Structure 1
Amino acid sequence: RCTDFNTTNIDADIVHCHTWYTHFGGVLARKNYGIPLVITVHSLEPLRPWKREQLAGGYDFSLWVEKTALEMADAIIAVSGETKRDIERLFNVDPARVHVIHNGIDLEEYRKIDSVVALKHYGIDPRQPYLLFVGRITRQKGFIHLMRAIQFMDRDFQIVLCAAAPDTPEIAKEMKTAVERAKAQRPGIVWIDEMVDQKIACELYSHAAVFVCPSIYEPFGIINLEAMACESPVVASAVGGIQEVVVDGETGFLVPLEQMEESPFELTSPEKFARDLAVKINQLMKDPELREKFGKAGRKRVEEKFSWSAIARKTKALYETLKR
């Protein structure tokens, strides 16, 4: 519900903020009106130094807003256990105020579908297997490592890159150059340079032989839930909350990566990660039975662990402990 701060009579029980963009309003509500403040942490600014490319001096402001809000909040929801540990390490907060409640998805909206209309529209051959990447063009999503891995991949499958919304013009140029280089190396690369809607995304997930998530920082990785709900097996980097979503050897493969322990958290061996990523993708592409097994197990895991109804119950229970 929208709250009007230009009044002395605010009857809200809780103010719940998501991401630093909204935190300042939450801080004002708590400070001026005594309304309990809940913050859900989907990412942490100190762990995303590449955002300075996009925000310039605004990055320092985002760091300050996030720190101020988290240290004032009555309760903090971390979207993964890994995120909870990061919050407690980076900020002056009582661990008892930090609660792990995973993200979820709508299982009715995200499910395997038969339609191939979108595939044909984008020039994807539905008769041939394809590797799928879906994500924003940002350093966080690891697109450059995926592009580096392509040279090590077998050539008997398509590669579909549903990637748009670059953080900066420079990153957009990097992506364009990388795609052009990859297309010169092998056939079957399709770049969907636009943000697609949920229906099209479901179609892409549903027919993907393998979904890949090469992120270098991912507090949760809801994109993997979407793919798993549509019965796509996942190959993902073993980082952050992804490790609480994808079960290695059961719903897909997790690929370890070694990073610098301090900012800018770059990979210490990017070529090794690229090769290891390609090895797991090639392995799954050669094994249709394993792909189907992982896909079914992925859907089952999402149904059992990540439905919105279960997450809503946990969130409501937390609210009840904070009501004035």
Structure 2
Amino acid sequence: MEIVILTREYPPHTYGGAGVHVEYLTRELAALGRNEDQIKVLCFGDQHINEGNLTVTGISSEFQPPFQEPRHRGFMNTLLNNVVMVGTIQRADIIHCHTWYSHLAGVLAKQISEAPLVLSTHSLEPHRPWKEEQLGTAYRGSSWIEKTAYENSDGVIAVSQAMKKDVQDLYHVASDKIRVIHNGIDLREYQFTHDDTLIRSFDIDPEKPFVLFVGRITRQKGIIHLVNAIRYLNSGIQVVLCAGAPDTEEISYEMEQAVEKAKKESDIPIVWIPRVLPKNEVITLYSHAALFVCPSVYEPFGIINLEAMACETPVVASAVGGIPEIVVPEETGLLVPFEAVNQNNFEPKNPEKFSRDLAEAVNRVLSNEEKLHFMGRKSRERVEKYFSWQSVARRTREFYEDLRKN
């Protein structure tokens, strides 16, 4: 079977959960179908990999059109890359797209190749209104592309039950066309790793417990609400914010202001690592953290929580999207209730209450050291039992086969 995977992200150019998903899915699909499948990945960038039955080709359009609006630059480059992607596909038995960035190429390639089109739902544009801040009016374009792709899809993979419902509500995709396949985790790679020297290199005291955030500086990830919660945290801990890649200059400035304000209002040490770290260093941070916090206001699945749990670190997370399908309250951490402004605005209805609730949950978990260690053990056990990439690849390939038969 000739499986063509279209994606914006692929290592080393990975910045979110979709990129992590594609990396491990393609690796396991290649292993699963070593004797009968060809896995061909087309992504944005300069990648060039040829390993057995897995090939990865980076796509970058050489044409640079004159731009009027700076915020439209990324959108226009995406369109150009999609056209190049379509021209690169010689044949396909399955076309599998990840995020709207590759959807236009998928829709066009389906018409030309007559192969079934599969979409993996990592997020949905109508549920990310803050993207207009980043894309300007091109946000309407990304939303239209996504809608068109779902209307033309033969099958949809939702990364959570919550996402399946969203796809049905927004795009009226029939239930029997959607299969829920959770994200996975590499259990060999993500495991407890001790390295005091690395921890000290970040100016973190390894002898003192710390609360950890890892993620991009975006509205979606809710990091500002966590920073605002610091003043309500009990003393005796540190807060480590591994946060870079801001979406816009506006939120970058907001983050800087919020951190400065938090430092003035609290004596809790705040360590801000303002960049995206290599995977091995992030794993060490997970492993040394007493607790991981995920304050997202929108999270289709939340693979970041699996990463922390695999390193035996319990999680305090907002009860949004697919997160309640990962975190088990009182067993692997705590879920913080979340009420959005409305169905089109995912910011918290009461930001101050949300920040207080985050702090209360963190304080509660950290107050019982025995329970904290119990949650850490249970976190690893849950991930081992329910979330492996081998299972994700097997179920994905079964979906491909079912679509080809039909």
Which of the five TM-score ranges fits, normalised by the shorter chain? over 0.9
- Other-structure match for 2:205: 125
Q: Which residue of 2 aligns with 1:216?
A: 297
The one of 310, 314, 323 aligned to 2:395: 314
Number of equivalent positions: 323
- Structure 1 residue 153 corresponds to structure 2 residue 233: yes
Matched, 1:181 2:257: no
The Cα shift of 1:2 comes to 4.9
Counterpart of 2:128? 48
Contact (CA 8 Å) 2:236, 2:268: kept in 1 or not?
no
Is residue 257 of structure 1 aligned with residue 338 of structure 2?
yes
Q: Which stretch shifts more, 157-166 or 286-295?
A: 286-295
Q: Is the 8 A contact 2:193 2:287 kept in 1?
A: yes
Q: Quick one: which of 186, 191, 199 aligns to 1:106?
A: 186
Contact 2:86 2:105 in 1 (8 A): no
Match of 1:116 among 173, 196, 204: 196
Per the alignment, residue 72 of structure 1 pairs with: 152
Structure 2 partner of 1:199 = 280
Q: Give the structure, 1 or 2, with the largest relative contact order (CA under 8 Å, sep 6 or more).
A: 1
2:379 is aligned with 1:298: yes
Q: Does residue 285 in structure 1 map to residue 369 in structure 2?
A: no
Partner SS state of residue 323, structure 1:
helix
Deviations 1:218-272 (Å, cap 9, x if unpaired)? 0000000000000001000001100101111110000001112232222111111
| One-letter code aligned to 1:319 | Y
**Runs of 4+ deviating beyond 6 Å:** none
What is the TM-score normalised by the length of structure 1? Answer: 0.97
Task: Give the Cα separation in 2 of the matches to 1:193 and 1:182.
Answer: 16
Kindly indicate which of the two structures has a greater share of residues assigned to strand.
Answer: 2
Between the aligned partners of 1:235 and 1:318, the Cα distance in structure 2 is 33
Pairing of 1:236-247 with structure 2 (within 5 A): 236-247=317-328
Query: Matches of 1:153 and 1:292 in 2, distance apart?
Result: 20
Residue 312 of structure 2 corresponds to 231
Q: 2:93 and 2:112 mapped to 1: Cα distance?
A: 14
1:268 aligned residue (319, 325, 349)? 349
Query: Does the C-alpha gap of structure 1 residues 133 and 2 become closer, same or farther in structure 2, counting only changes over 3 Å?
Result: closer
Cα distance in structure 2, aligned partners of 1:19 and 1:117: 38
Query: RMSD between aligned alpha carbons?
Result: 1.4
Q: Deviations over 1:255-290 (max 9, x none)?
A: 001112232222111111111111110111121111
Identity score, percent: 53
Residue 14 of structure 1 aligns with which residue? 94
Are the aligned partners of 2:192 and 2:312 in contact in 1 as well (CA < 8 Å)?
yes
Q: What is the rounded CA distance, in whole Å, between the counterparts of 1:143 and 1:72 in structure 2?
A: 36
User: How far did residue 5 of structure 1 move?
Assistant: 4.4
Question: Which ranges in structure 1 are unaligned for 5 or more consecutive residues?
Answer: none
Aligned-partner Cα distance in 2 for 1:13–1:38:
11
Structure 1 position 171 matched with structure 2 position 236: no
**DSSP 3-state at the match of 2:362:** helix
